[in-house]
Amino acid sequence: MSDLMTKAALSAPRQRLLETMQRLNFGRIEDLEIRKGEPLFNPAPRIVQDIKLGAENGPRPELSTADFVLKSQVVEFFEHLTRIGDASVETIEVKHGLPFKLVVEMAG
C-alpha cells in the first residue's frame, strides 16, 4: 500500500515527538507549542510519566528501530497537528507509547 506512512517520512521535529512518546510509554506531554503543524521543543514541553506498579514501565521496543510503518493513531495525531497549524497543546496523553488524547488551546 503506497499510503502507509513511515517514521522516516516524518520531519525531524515530528520524529523527536514520536520518540518522546515511545520513551515515555505512559504519561503526558504538556505545554507543547505547535507552529505550522510542527512541534517546537524550545521552550521544552513538560513530560510527566505514569509509573504502573508491577507492570512494564520502560520505553517502547520501537524506539530502537530506525524506520517502521506508523500506527493509525500516530498518523491521525499528526494529521490533527497539521490541521491545527499554530496552537498550544495543553496535554498529549500517551498510552503504550501512542498518542491517546490531545487537549489543545485554540486562539479565540
Model confidence over 68-91: pLDDT tens digits? 999 999 999 999 999 999 999 999
Q: What is the pLDDT of residue 45?
A: 97
Q: What is the pLDDT of residue 2?
A: 45
User: Cell 490533527 maps to which residue?
Assistant: 80
Q: What does the alpha-carbon distance between residue 45 and residue 17 come to, in Å, rounded to a whole number?
A: 10
Q: What is the pLDDT of residue 108?
A: 65
Give domain limits for the chain.
7-105
User: Cell 503526558 maps to which residue?
Assistant: 28
Parts of the chain with a pLDDT under 70: 1-3, 107-108
Average per-residue pLDDT for the chain = 92
**Cell numbers standing for residue 105:** 488551546
